[in-house]
Homo-oligomer: A and B are copies of this chain.
Amino acid sequence: MTGVSRRQLFGLTGAGVALAGAGVAAGIGVDRLDPGSGAPATASTVDFHGTHQAGIVTPTQPNLHFAALDVTTKDVGELRALLRTWTAAARRMTAGQEVVTGGAAEAPPGDTGEALDLPAADLTLTIGFGPSLFDRRFGLAAKRPPQLVDLPLFPKDKLDPARSGGDLCIQACANDPQVAVHAVRNLVRLGFGVTEVRWSQLGFGRSSSTSRTQQTPRNLFGFKDGTNNVKAEDTGVLHDQVWAQPDDGQAWMADGSYLVARRIRMHIETWDRETLSGQEQIVGRSKGTGAPLGQTGEFDQVDLDVGGAGGVPLIADDAHIRLASHQTLAGARILRRGYNFVDGSDGVGHLEAGLFFLAFNRDTRTQYIPMQQALSAKDAMMEYVQHTGSAHFAVPPGLTPASNWGDGLFG
């Protein structure tokens, strides 16, 4: 479907009209103007309903706003009601509509308004439940999926508790940052008194592609990222390694997935002083083309054994793509969906830049965790990065027009 103009809906309720006693506001001038060069928003929408939640295999949109929330109420009924309210609001916003239509001038607006003139911009809203939600507070302990473990502390982790954890998460992806921010802000607003923002992260530039229809983007080390990702088209791998199956332990999670979020600070200044061939040996790929070392094309098969001049493998023992490869991890893969970030500066003269790593897998215990163990222990790239935030969420399955985000949890 095409985006409904939010402005048309809202424009009719302007209090300027009410105050002046004049007729319906005309809104002239707007529709005749060009949105200006480079206006990034597109009118297209991503279907909110489906077997799986949108925002996982959806071709990665260029802008992210991710929020982790804590539940502050003790009343489980309020939480349940909020999940219903959020679902209704998400259904509307992902269709390019205001949170609610109209509203009276003498009440707070039902929509905060900053996306009024903007289309749906391919907005997806994806929800997840953190391990702490299954503690004693809400009687949900028996519903906790075995895959939703408390993540271990990995070697060299330097986690900030203020950037880690969370009872709930909302992942908003869109073609326009204002649309993603608007969506999170309005869900947060609807949660007032029930939830609070624990941490939030903006991201740009989609550091990983999730579909073969997309050109591979680059991360802030300047390398193509997502070349060897699990992609929307890999239905067999998705079944085996991304989507929870009915007999995985908690049937309510079937067709859902498990999301690991890691805020990874990248020491770009140190990286920038490394030679080109040094950078390429760390990654195991060529920087310009993205080809695996020893090959020529970006999508050429990785050959971990291909030798260099002295018979030594071109892809080093501590190269990132060797350690992260399913070939060295008993077949384990993950679907990466991270974003680049720059959060101002670090106070000691550098940009606070990095990768907000997001990955989906079917069982974090046998996929993400061993992969991270291998990387944290041996990856040559670890010298240039630092994990500063960490969280884990159970992402429930997709919805029908009649169901809501709380159904499995409370069903």
CB–CB B344/A343 < 8 A: yes
CB–CB A294/B20 < 8 A: yes
Cβ-neighbour of A222 out of B113, B192, B277 (below 8 A): B113
Query: Measured between alpha carbons, how far is A202 from B342 in the docked complex, in Å?
Result: 7
Within 8 A of B (CB), among A1-51: 7, 10-23, 25-30, 33-42, 44
CB–CB B351/A36 < 8 A: no
Instruction: State whether A177 and B200 are in contact (beta carbons under 8 Å apart), knowing that A11-B288, A38-B122, A42-B38 are contacts in the complex.
Output: no
Chain B residues, Cβ within 8 Å of A138? none
**Quick check: which of A99-107, A233-241, A377-385 contacts chain B, the rest being far away?**
A99-107
Closest partner residue, chain B, to A103 (CB atom): B276
Instruction: State whether A29 and B308 are in contact (beta carbons under 8 Å apart), knowing that A13-B276, A185-B268, A276-B108 are contacts in the complex.
Output: no
Q: Is A293 an interface position by the 8 A CB rule? A: yes
Closest partner residue, chain B, to A44 (CB atom): B37
Q: Measured between C-beta atoms, what is the minimum distance from A309 to chain B in Å?
A: 8
Q: Is A392 an interface position by the 8 A CB rule? A: no
Size bin of chain A's contact surface? 35 or more
CB–CB A280/B16 < 8 A: yes
Q: Is A314 an interface position by the 8 A CB rule? A: yes
Cβ-neighbour of A15 out of B15, B205, B280 (below 8 A): B280
Chain B residues, Cβ within 8 Å of A11? 288-289
Query: Measured between alpha carbons, how far is A308 from B29 in the docked complex, in Å?
Result: 25
Chain B residues, Cβ within 8 Å of A275? 105-108
Cβ-neighbour of A272 out of B17, B189, B222 (below 8 A): B189
Copies of this protein chain in the complex: 2
Q: Is A301 an interface position by the 8 A CB rule? A: no
Cβ-neighbour of A29 out of B12, B115, B298 (below 8 A): B298
CB–CB B114/A222 < 8 A: yes
Chain B residues, Cβ within 8 Å of A175? 37-38, 40
Q: Could you say which of A188, A286, A353 has the most chain B C-beta atoms within 10 Å of its C-beta?
A: A286
Query: Measured between alpha carbons, how far is A221 from B11 in the docked complex, in Å?
Result: 16
- Other than the given A38-B61, A114-B220, 15 more pairs (CB < 8 A) read A16-B293, A20-B314, A25-B291, A26-B297, A37-B61, A38-B44, A39-B62, A63-B204, A108-B276, A113-B222, A114-B205, A116-B222, A178-B217, A188-B351, A343-B343
A-B contact pairs, 24 of them (CB 8 A): A14-B288, A15-B287, A16-B286, A16-B292, A16-B296, A20-B294, A20-B295, A20-B308, A25-B288, A28-B298, A33-B214, A33-B215, A37-B44, A38-B122, A62-B176, A107-B275, A111-B222, A114-B219, A114-B340, A185-B353, A197-B345, A199-B345, A200-B345, A343-B343
